[in-house]
């Protein structure tokens, strides 16, 4: 059994990595919540669009 419950909030990068290894879908949610705002901001600051930011982030994940 995984050491992470599907309902546990993943709080740090190590937990996220372990969650991904264990197939915990919350790990992907945690990546999105933690990193999407800064990635989106960087893309928008470099003349990208919100749609481009979403596409780039989706491809990376």
53 within domain boundaries = yes
Cα distance between residue 16 and residue 41, in whole Å: 22
The reported pLDDT for the residue numbered 22 is 93
Number of H helices, E strands in the chain: 3, 0
Contacts of residue 25, Cβ cutoff 8 Å, sequence gap at least 6: 6
Question: How many residues are listed for the chain in this entry?
Answer: 61
Q: pLDDT (tens digit, 9 = 90+) per residue, 17-58?
A: 999 999 988 998 999 999 999 999 999 999 999 999 999 999
Q: Is the CB of residue 40 less than 8 Å from the CB of residue 50?
A: yes
State which residues form the domain around 39. 13-60
In a domain, 3, yes or no: no
Q: How confident is the model at residue 9 (pLDDT cuts 50, 70, 90)?
A: low
Residue 1, domain member (yes or no): no
């Amino acid at each position: 059994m995984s050491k992470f419950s599907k309902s546990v909030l993943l709080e740090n990068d190590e937990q996220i990595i372990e969650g991904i290894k264990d197939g915990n879908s919350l790990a992907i949610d945690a990546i999105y919540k933690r990193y999407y705002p800064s990635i989106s901001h960087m893309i928008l600051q470099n003349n990208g669009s919100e749609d481009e930011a979403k596409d780039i982030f989706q491809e990376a994940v």
